[in-house]
């Protein structure tokens, strides 16, 4: 009985030792699993961090590229604007220079009436002196219209009745001919432009071509002649010409 008890005790102790060993092995395996899981989590976090860094760097590079592109576009836009500004400034300078040339050979103001004075009715005894800028090509239409400027640089339409376009065009030289006009009538003409927009311009009607005399810059032999003589027409004065409808213009 004693021997049997000893064997049973030894078996119990061996079983407990085996269970303890198994438990220790299991604990060791669980620890290894936790360690492996921790390592995997750390690796996953590192991968996520690396991915995030790459994405952020890619976004930064994209933003830098867009900023550079935008700056380049703005610089190009600025250069174009500066070029347009320079061109506009040069054009304005040319226009101012050209205008100065146009009015350079006008006679003194004491014998030279301006468009504004004509409009206001001032100095009626002084003729309106104008420089011919261009003759509008309107074959067969009345009146014949000549674009002019006065000594102040104001531009307007000079409308001739009882005159022929071809012969008047032969008598004057654009940008050179100076005319002295008496008995002129001022009016503001309003016409309908694109989209029904109202446009207006200053017009001076000359019913009798003999009232316009070439002071200088006309065609050969025409200086000192009236446009009635220069156009070679027998003058027919129309008292209603000054009041004709602006629709003909």
Residues 6 or more apart whose CB falls under 8 angstroms from that of 113 comprise 122, 123, 126, 127, 128, 129
Residue 235 CB partners (closer than 8 Å, separation 6+): 162, 208, 209, 210, 228
pLDDT beyond 90 at 6: no
- Per-residue pLDDT at 185 exceeds 50: yes
Rounded Cα distance, 204 and 184, in Å = 6
Q: What would the pLDDT profile of 75-129 be if each residue is shown by its tens digit?
A: 888 888 777 766 656 544 547 778 888 888 999 989 999 999 999 999 999 999 9
Domain boundaries, the chain: 1-104, 109-242
CATH of 109-242, one of 2.40.50.550, 2.60.40.10, 2.60.120.10, 3.40.50.300: 2.40.50.550
Pairing of strands 198-206, 185-192: antiparallel
Check residue 239 and give its pLDDT. Answer: 36
Number of residues assigned to the chain:
249
Instruction: Give me the chain's average pLDDT, please.
Output: 83
Cis preceding-peptide flag for 5 (omega within 30 of 0):
no
- Residue 184 pLDDT > 60, yes or no? yes
Pick the more confident residue, 238 or 22.
Answer: 22
What confidence score (pLDDT) does residue 76 get?
86
Is the pTM here over 0.75, yes or no?
Answer: no
DSSP conformation letters of 60-87: HHHHHHHHHHHHHHHHHHHHHHHHHHHH
**What's the rounded mean pLDDT across residues 146-150?**
94
Given pLDDT bands bounded at 50, 70 and 90, which one contains residue 246? very low
pLDDT at 88: 56
């Amino acid at each position: 009985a004693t021997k049997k008890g000893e064997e049973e005790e030894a078996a119990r102790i061996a079983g407990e030792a085996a269970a303890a060993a198994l438990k220790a092995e299991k604990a060791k395996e669980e620890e290894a699993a936790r360690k492996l899981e921790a390592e995997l989590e750390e690796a996953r976090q590192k991968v996520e961090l690396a991915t995030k860094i790459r994405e952020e760097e890619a976004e930064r590079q994209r933003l830098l590229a867009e900023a550079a592109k935008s700056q380049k576009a703005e610089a190009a836009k600025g250069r174009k604007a500066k070029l347009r500004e320079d061109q506009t400034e040069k054009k304005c300078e040319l226009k101012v220079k050209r205008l100065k040339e146009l009015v350079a050979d006008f006679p003194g103001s004491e014998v030279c009436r301006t468009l504004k004075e004509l409009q206001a009715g001032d100095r009626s005894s002084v003729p309106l002196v104008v420089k011919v800028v261009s003759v509008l090509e309107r074959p067969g239409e009345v009146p014949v219209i000549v674009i002019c400027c006065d000594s102040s640089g104001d531009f307007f339409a000079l409308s001739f009745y009882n005159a022929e376009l071809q012969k008047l065009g032969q008598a004057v030289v654009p940008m050179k001919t100076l005319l002295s006009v008496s008995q002129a009538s001022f009016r503001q003409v309003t016409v309908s432009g694109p989209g029904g927009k109202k446009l207006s311009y200053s017009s001076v009607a000359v019913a009798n071509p003999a009232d316009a005399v070439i002071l200088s810059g006309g065609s050969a032999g025409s200086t000192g002649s009236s446009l009635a003589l220069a156009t070679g027409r027998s003058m027919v004065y129309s008292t209603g010409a000054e009041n004709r409808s602006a629709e003909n213009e």
